[in-house]
Amino acid sequence: MRKILITGFEPFGGYVENSSWEAAKKVASFGVFNVDIATECLPVSFVRAPMTIREAIYRHTPDVVIMLGQSATADRIKLERVALNMMDSAMGDNDGAKPDEEPIDKDGATALLTSLPIKILRSAIEAKGINVKISNSAGLYVCNRTYYEGLRICRERGARAIFVHLPLYEGQKSPHRDKKTMPLGDMCRAIQTIIEEIK
């Protein structure tokens, strides 16, 4: 049976929930036929998120890692193509860290790319009538930091990985007004579609 690890994040930036963790829990509770799904909730911390995902990958030994994150500015699902070797944040993470254009690994590759067929995944999600696009930047915050780590570890272990940014879910409490949202059910169907495509 194929093993998949789905990660989401704890809340950050004034939100009381994170759509990524809400979606991860729901996909795992529905399940996907013939797939062993593990989940992990990551801290929004430049230091602790990569440590936690490394530990989770070693513990769960997945074939594929699907990392999820919330993007409150997104109006659709964003399949992230690339992780950049840089950290930068004026807002700071949940530990108060505010890296200023710091490399993740000064000897590491400038960028790492997903090892999954991103255009095929986009088409499959579109075919379900769900709004989706490919994005060429996951930002320079904790999601990008986590993606870089996830891709690096998966490459070492012969596993595959992708990062997916999700909008706020419909009904999610937000400290900001007029944010675009998406039904949580659509986000879950998109993630299930990814899992089915890579079986």
Q: Which is nearer to ligand PCA, 141 or 148 (CB)?
A: 141
| Residues 115-144, interacting with ligand PCA (CB under 6 A) | 139, 141-143
Binding-site member from 18, 45, 52, 192 for ligand PCA (CB under 6 A):
18
Q: Which is nearer to ligand PCA, 20 or 39 (CB)?
A: 20
| Residues 31-90, interacting with ligand PCA (CB under 6 A) | 44, 69-71
Give the HSE-up count for residue 148: Cα atoms under 13 Å, Cβ half-sphere.
26
DSSP single-letter state for residue 34: T
Tokens of 83: 């992780």
State yes or no: residue 12 binds ligand PCA (CB under 6 A).
yes
CA distances from 146 to 3, 120, 125, 179 (A): 20, 23, 24, 25
Q: Which is nearer to ligand PCA, 78 or 160 (CB)?
A: 78
CA 122 to chain centre: 15
**What separation, in Å, do the N-terminal and C-terminal C-alpha atoms of the chain show?**
10
Residues of this chain that interact with ligand PCA (CB under 6 A) are: 9, 12, 18, 20, 44, 69-71, 139, 141-143
